[in-house]
Amino acid sequence: MTKAKRLRYLFKSATVMVSLFALLAPLSAQAADPAVKAVRGSFFDFVDDPWKHVGKEEESARFLPDGMLVMEDGIIKDFGPYSELSSKYPKAQVTTVSDRIILPGFVDGHVHFPQTRVLGAYGLQLLPWLQDWIFPEETKYKDPEYAKVGVKHYFDNMLAAGTTTVQDFGTSFPNAVEAFFDEASRRNMRVICGIGGIDRNAPESFRTPPDMFYNESKRLIEKYHGKGRNLYAITPRFAYGDSSELLSMCGKLHKEYPDCWINTHVSENPTETRNAPLEHNTKDYLGCYEKFGLVGPKFTAGHGVWLSDSEFSRLNKAGASISVCPISNTFLGSGLFRLGRATDPNCRVRMTFGTDMGGGNRFSMIDVVDHMYKVGMCNNAMLDGSIDPRWHDDAESERNKLNAYRAFYSITLGGAEGLYLDDKIGNFKPGKEADFVVLDWKGGPPATAWHQSLICDKPATMKEAAQLLFGVMAVGDSRAVDETWVMGRRLYKKGSDFGLASTGTKSTNK
């Protein structure tokens, strides 16, 4: 070979090597990428509303007995059987979770963080309970230190209950809402909150004059809405406690910030349900919010125990949501929510389920579905919740029954849909945020281990998994929550303060 030929040959070989390297480099970089994390275990989630599949609810769910959830930067990158995905991601850091069922993180659509220290107050219906227990306690949140300690305690309890997303009522004091968003940001949780507007039927020191409410809401929207995972809800506390001026400020804020959520209460207790429409000169309770242009998508009202058929129908048409709060509705004696009516296929109303803690005396969404099962059974026994047997409707009666599919859908994907957050959370679809809860089906009170082992020791089919999940809600409780993960990071592990310590907080669940 001449010198010139040798040089040409060397040059060609080098070019080929460089091209090959350029081709392979991205592949090897991806395979070695330490940012790709995965969890291997049994997964259960939902792809549809089980009330659309009456009698065949399993069509709305997915169960992977040996699945793999692949995550990058806290976002779900892939999801499927381990046998298929393990070779696609050979270098992913895999955490294996055995003898557990993994579900999307629970969504609590209606809760009051400033009531953390007074849940379980004895013996009063809504209106005297607010005056005697709630307004005095929430007033303490004016003190920044009191608020700061309160929100830490609140989020510790939420994570220990498997809840990763909340729609919360801030109290009357903006500093408490700031403490809430700051603590949620430290944990990187997907949350919705806002100042609770109230300027009537409350002590003077607790009221939010309409101007102050408007200005402070605006300031907090600018500061927090859409920053990280924080979202702002314009929050008229309830029409019984709000003047027309305050509700019209809410309408004004809604026009200026159409992207924000709206959160309130409706038709919870008979006394306020009678009085709110009288004070706002409307035909019913929902009308108080309609009058100010508030009812539409991203509007949620808690409770809805005394809603008329007309109000259900208007909520359906508006694309608005009701938050179903059975623990609170029974604890405060408010009434029985008509689940079968809300899920009428001709007039389906979006729903979230909520603890309404402290009106609800539990933090746990597992307890919420346990209570809703019983409320549904009462309504079911009374045919459809109607008192007059001539209104009997078999199909409505059946829809009151909360089987495992309906229950766990309602606190995962259903909750996300109720909040218009189902593009971000609610199931294991790639592109969504990796929030999930690891359930130990034998982890409740002593009776659960025995009861659950009668069903099976390790679910191999969707039917077995659903039976175990029903056992978790009916025999177990939030002690079934073994781990809670937020954006691909484990923030709670039963029996340790792993994760919480790194946020500067300490677990209260030991």
Cβ(117)–Cβ(137) below 8 Å: yes
Smallest distance, ligand GUN to C-beta of residue 65, A? 40
Neighbouring CB atoms inside 10 A of 363's CB total: 26
Smallest distance, ligand GUN to C-beta of residue 112, A? 5
For position 302 contacting Zn ion by CB under 5 A, the verdict is: yes
- Select 138 or 290, whichever has its Cβ closest to Zn ion: 138
Comparing every residue's Cβ against ligand GUN, the nearest one is 359
- Select 183 or 268, whichever has its Cβ closest to ligand GUN: 268
Smallest distance, ligand GUN to C-beta of residue 114, A? 9
Interface map 425-444 toward Zn ion (x if CB under 5 A): --------------------
Q: Return the one option of Zn ion, ligand GUN, none that residue 150 interacts with (CB less than 5 to 8 A, by type).
A: none
CA distance from start to end of the chain = 79
Whole-Å CA distances, 86 to 33, 45, 89, 460: 15, 20, 5, 20
For position 168 contacting Zn ion by CB under 5 A, the verdict is: no
Total of chain residues touching Zn ion, rule CB under 5 A: 2
Q: Which residue has the tokens 């129908």?
A: 313
Tokens of 17: 């090597």
For position 272 contacting Zn ion by CB under 5 A, the verdict is: no
List the 61-72 sheet strands across, edge first: 75-81, 61-72, 36-46, 93-104, 436-439, 481-486, 489-493
List b or e across 318-347, with b for residues whose CB sees 16 or more CB atoms inside 10 angstroms: bebbbbbbbbbbbbbebbbbbbbbbbbeee
Q: Return the one option of Zn ion, ligand GUN, none that residue 195 interacts with (CB less than 5 to 8 A, by type).
A: none
Smallest distance, Zn ion to C-beta of residue 138, A? 12
- Select 272 or 440, whichever has its Cβ closest to Zn ion: 272
- Select 326 or 426, whichever has its Cβ closest to ligand GUN: 326
Smallest distance, ligand GUN to C-beta of residue 137, A? 10
**Angle, in degrees to the nearest 10, between helices 210-224 and 174-187:** 20
- Select 242 or 356, whichever has its Cβ closest to Zn ion: 356
For position 277 contacting Zn ion by CB under 5 A, the verdict is: no
- Select 210 or 302, whichever has its Cβ closest to Zn ion: 302
Neighbouring CB atoms inside 10 A of 51's CB total: 22
Smallest distance, ligand GUN to C-beta of residue 388, A? 29
Nearest by Cα to 146 from 110, 175, 186, 120: 175
- Select 302 or 459, whichever has its Cβ closest to Zn ion: 302
Q: How far apart are CA 56 and CA 130, in angstroms?
A: 43
In order, the DSSP letters of 19-37 are HHHHHHHHHHHHHT-TTEE
Nearest by Cα to 492 from 509, 470, 468: 509
Bridge partners (DSSP) listed for residue 262? 234, 299
- Select 268 or 440, whichever has its Cβ closest to ligand GUN: 268
Q: Which residue has the tokens 């209460």?
A: 265
Q: What angle do CA 458, 42, 95 make, to 5 degrees?
A: 115
Cβ(353)–Cβ(410) below 8 Å: yes
Bridge partners (DSSP) listed for residue 34? none
Q: Return the one option of ligand GUN, Zn ion, none that residue 286 interacts with (CB less than 5 to 8 A, by type).
A: none
Q: Return the one option of Zn ion, ligand GUN, none that residue 237 interacts with (CB less than 5 to 8 A, by type).
A: ligand GUN
- Select 197 or 302, whichever has its Cβ closest to Zn ion: 302
Smallest distance, ligand GUN to C-beta of residue 110, A? 8
Binding to Zn ion in span 333-372, by CB under 5 A? 356
Whole-Å CA distances, 306 to 192, 246, 287, 338, 434: 26, 24, 13, 9, 37
- Select 133 or 436, whichever has its Cβ closest to Zn ion: 133
Q: Which residue has the tokens 């806002």?
A: 194
Smallest distance, ligand GUN to C-beta of residue 118, A? 10
Smallest distance, Zn ion to C-beta of residue 325, A? 7
Residues near ligand GUN (CB under 6 A): 112, 126, 130, 134, 237-238, 265, 268, 328, 356, 359
Smallest distance, Zn ion to C-beta of residue 112, A? 6
Single-letter residue type at 297? P
Q: How far apart are CA 299 and CA 167, in angstroms?
A: 11
Q: Return the one option of ligand GUN, Zn ion, none that residue 268 interacts with (CB less than 5 to 8 A, by type).
A: ligand GUN
Smallest distance, ligand GUN to C-beta of residue 299, A? 16
- Select 167 or 328, whichever has its Cβ closest to ligand GUN: 328
Stretch that binds Zn ion, among 300-308, 335-343, 416-424, 428-436 (CB under 5 A): 300-308
Binding residues for Zn ion, rule: CB under 5 A, are 302, 356
